[in-house]
Amino acid sequence: MKRIISVIVENEHGVLARIVNMFAARGYNITSLTVAPIPESELSRMTIMSEGDPKIFEQIVKQLYKLIPVYKVIESDDFIEKEMAMVKFPLKEVKDNLADIDAIARCYNGKISNVNDRHIVVSVVDRPDRIDNFLKAMKAKYHQLEIVRSGVSVIER
Amino acid sequence: MKLTGAQIVIESLIKEGVKTVFGYPGGAIMNVYDEIYKQNSFKHILAKHEQGAVHMADGYARATGKVGVAMVTSGPGITNAVTGIATAYTDSVPLVIFSGQVPTGAIGTDAFQEVDAVGVTRPITKHNFLVKNVEDLAFIIKEAFYLAKSGRPGPVHIDLPKDVTIAKTKFIYPEKIELMTYKPTYHGNKRAIKRAVEAIKKARRPVFYIGGGSVISGASEIIREIVKFTKIPSVETLMARGVLRYDCPYLLGMVGMHGSFAANMAMNDADLIISLGARFDDRVTGKIDEFAKNADIVHIDIDPSQIGKVVKTKYPIVGDVKLVLEEMAPLLFDGVDAGRYEEWRNVLNRYQELYPLKYSDTNEVIKPQWVIQKTGELADEDVVITTDVGQHQMWAAQFYPFTYPRQMITSGGLGTMGFGFPAALGAKEGVKEKTVINFSGDGSIMMNIQEVLTGYKYKLPVINIILNNNYLGMVRQWQTMFYDDRLSETDLSDVQPDFVKLAESMGGVGFRVKTKNEFIKAFNEALKSNKVAFIDVQIDRREDVLPMVPPNSPLKNMLIFKEDK
């Protein structure tokens, strides 16, 4: 089962290792992980997407709370989820379809964000499942894509 | 005035009221040891091995209830300490461990005696710190002591780079500490307590399941009062031996793999299990799918992660066992009917009569259980008992007449062989007025035997009773039971040290015992000797620890006793 949690932690030495260890020690895979400081505080927000047995997950959440630098663990069914993806196309493959690519990117809150003599780069921002759809559509039509996904960020509604 | 990091360590330890530090010096921690040399406020006990030092600090902490302090150097110093730290972590023992580290500039360069110490101890400490600035040091030490002893206690490790111990800053030791991210819950939720009390009053077959948390929180007195008033049958885990007196009429003995039949049947047949700081360990529950099928669970624990971890809990109460029970007691005493549980008590008493803990004694050969019982008769009521790990540990837990909490010091969770002797030395340092006896085996005692010298040097006369069956007995027992008696690497009869000479060579005293009378004589002489004593007791080689719940079996499927041979 797919789960997303937000962990609010103190910015201190080794905190990321502590959190990640907690998952690793219980055989739980982290699908995606994003970390960034929370402005005007000494805290960071880690958003962790993971998949596995709900009972183990419940235990992980309790164990996370036990870690000294963990301030809060937010679990919710009502997150706004956003992820960014960047896709690099070889220019010579797509030079006749730029309008098409741009139009599809716009459907996913994106656009062509860079063009040079060899590549174009498209970036989109959307829900992770919609990003999946976008990438599926692009991969069906074009080849030799380079894809970078940011991992999911969430906020409670 | 500015102090160096090393001086700050010393001053902070003094502020924390530390009386004894157990440790071993080395390159990276030398500046701190230089300051130890210059001071007279606390004692330093030099162990012979870092593992010994940490077990000593652990035994000291368990016997006194105070925070134990250990100090080691970088690299092999801290890796040698790892087993000691992990032992304390699993049994929730408050320790602060200082380790030296290479200078901050050298970290990550594979410098001499460098190891990623905080990386190594991260999963076996409650928290750990790498001190990067001397300005942070005093606060970190304060925080470390606070974390170690508050909430669910545990070991805290401070890694001290050498340059930090030289750098200077103004010493300000914080009076109070408050952490935004760490606020243990001590007082249970009032409504949850009320609901649990109602459940107890309505139950037909309740049982108090007393765990190590009861010892740590100092709940023994209130538990004794509640048990006496309600007459509710009670069982103790290995970590809780002594919370009730051995002769308490409502104590059914130890629960679990080698618990008494009555205690295990109480858990099996109960309709309400009231867990007091216990954690439903696999050695207690047996096969989990068949554990206490008809029971609701009241679970009192200061660590929320323990509640619901193993069993479904209808009445969770997060809080300190003692404080929660103090709130429960008046509610419970108001209207609880002790007569209501009489039928239940009668059933369990019948189990006690049918299947008591027993062994067939003889004069041909010494039975280990006899040694434990006899020691209980010969020793004062207030002696401290430590154990190593294996058969002797279980026999001690089953047969010793425990009378008070903190009397039994044993590596329960991690099961560390070699724990008992150094822990006994640490305990002796903490409670000088009491006799300290370590029950060990001929396997366990060899791990950390070097500490005889420490006992000699610091005049810590502890008595080691080695229940010697020339086997790694517990493994041998499993091999006999589950591996068709193929004794793979467990027979030690071809290589036994001369324990008498071994003890004597390091300033101790030794006795080799083959008869009951010899044991009694040796024990009395050991007491009088005021030295580290080894009593090498040759016991029945093939004696098993019984009764026993076979691994992954339900509690009710206990193997009781062998028919007489």
Task: Name which of B376, B361, B355, B354 is nearest B247 in CA terms.
Answer: B376
Amino acid at A69: P
Query: Active site includes B50?
Result: yes
CATH of the domain at A61: 3.30.70.260
Which positions in chain B touch A58 (Cβ < 8 Å)?
A: 308
Query: Active site includes B474?
Result: yes
**Choice among B394, B474, B548, B558 that is catalytic:** B474
pLDDT of residue B564: 44
Identify the domain boundary among A40, A75, A110: A75
Task: Name which of B474, B487, B485 is nearest B443 in CA terms.
Answer: B474
The alpha carbon of residue A69 is apart from the nearest alpha carbon of chain B, in Å, by 6
A127, two tokens? 């829900």
Q: Alpha-carbon distance B297 to A71, whole Å?
A: 29
**Residue B85, pLDDT above cutoff 90:** yes
Q: Are strands B463-468 and B509-513 parallel, antiparallel or unpaired?
A: unpaired
State pLDDT tens for residues B263-290.
Answer: 999 999 999 999 999 999 999 999 999 9
- B562 falls in which pLDDT band (50, 70, 90)? low
Identify the domain boundary among A75, A96, A120: A75
Q: Alpha-carbon distance A84 to A47, whole Å?
A: 14
Which positions in chain B touch A66 (Cβ < 8 Å)?
A: 303-305
Task: Name which of B127, B78, B70, B69 is nearest B102 in CA terms.
Answer: B78
State pLDDT tens for residues B234-256.
Answer: 999 999 999 999 999 999 999 99
Rounded to two decimals, what is the model's pTM? 0.95
Identify the domain boundary among A75, A100, A135: A75
Q: What does the pLDDT average to over B209-221?
A: 98
pLDDT of residue A28: 84
- Contact status of B181 with chain A (Cβ, < 8 Å): yes
Question: Which stretch of B441-445, B455-459, B487-491, B492-496 has the lowest confidence by average pLDDT?
Answer: B492-496
Task: Name which of B345, B351, B346 is nearest B262 in CA terms.
Answer: B351
Return the H-helix or E-strand segment holding A7. strand A2-10
| Nearest by CB: B181 against A13, A59, A69 | A69
Q: Alpha-carbon distance B391 to B470, whole Å?
A: 12
| Nearest by CB: B122 against A18, A59, A62 | A18
Q: What does the pLDDT average to over B61-80?
A: 98
Taking phi over 0 as left and psi of -120 to 50 as alpha, with beta for the rest, B242 belongs to left
For residue B52, how many C-alpha atoms fall within 13 Å in the half-sphere facing its CB?
A: 20
Q: What does the pLDDT average to over A73-78?
A: 88
State pLDDT tens for residues B517-533.
Answer: 999 999 999 999 999 99
pLDDT of residue B251: 98
State pLDDT tens for residues B106-148.
Answer: 999 999 999 999 999 999 999 999 999 999 999 999 999 999 9
Q: Alpha-carbon distance B325 to B331, whole Å?
A: 10
CB pairs under 8 A between A and B: 39
**What is the domain range of residue A60?**
2-75
Q: What does the pLDDT average to over B494-501?
A: 95
Q: How many domains does chain B have?
A: 3
For residue B197, how many C-alpha atoms fall within 13 Å in the half-sphere facing its CB?
A: 21
Which residues have CB under 8 Å from A6's CB, separation 6+? A45, A46, A47, A48, A72, A73, A74, A79, A154
Identify the domain boundary among B301, B331, B354: B354
Return the H-helix or E-strand segment holding A91. helix A91-94
State pLDDT tens for residues B179-211.
Answer: 999 999 999 999 999 999 999 999 999 999 999
Which positions in chain B touch A13 (Cβ < 8 Å)?
A: 118, 130, 132
**Do B373 and B305 reside in the same domain of the chain?**
no
A100, two tokens? 């098409």
Q: What is the mean pLDDT of chain B?
A: 96
Q: How many CB atoms lie within 10 A of CB B202?
A: 12
pLDDT of residue B565: 39
CATH of the domain at A150: 3.30.70.1150
B131, two tokens? 């001190």
Name the closest residue on chain B to residue A23, using Cα atoms: B123
Is B181 part of a structural domain of the chain? no
Identify the domain boundary among B331, B354, B377: B354
**Do B321 and B434 reside in the same domain of the chain?**
no
State pLDDT tens for residues B253-263.
Answer: 999 999 999 99
**Do A65 and A87 reside in the same domain of the chain?**
no
**Do B319 and B205 reside in the same domain of the chain?**
yes
Identify the domain boundary among B141, B170, B199: B170
> What ipTM was predicted for this assembly?
0.86
Q: Alpha-carbon distance B213 to B91, whole Å?
A: 9
Q: Alpha-carbon distance B328 to B335, whole Å?
A: 12
CATH of the domain at B76: 3.40.50.970
**Do B137 and B45 reside in the same domain of the chain?**
yes
State pLDDT tens for residues B331-384.
Answer: 999 999 999 999 999 999 999 999 999 999 999 999 999 999 999 999 999 999
- A66 falls in which pLDDT band (50, 70, 90)? very high
CATH of the domain at B277: 3.40.50.1220
**What is the domain range of residue B501?**
368-538
Query: Active site includes B343?
Result: no
Is B136 part of a structural domain of the chain? yes
Q: What does the pLDDT average to over B153-158?
A: 98
- B230 falls in which pLDDT band (50, 70, 90)? very high
Cβ atoms of residues B421 and B503 within 8 Å: no
**Do B318 and B422 reside in the same domain of the chain?**
no
- Contact status of A54 with chain B (Cβ, < 8 Å): no
CB-CB under 8 Å, A58 with B130: no
Q: Alpha-carbon distance A125 to B513, whole Å?
A: 79
Query: Active site includes B391?
Result: no
CB-CB under 8 Å, B123 with A21: yes
Share of chain B above pLDDT 90, in %: 97
**Residue B563, pLDDT above cutoff 60:** no
| Nearest by CB: A59 against B126, B147, B309 | B309
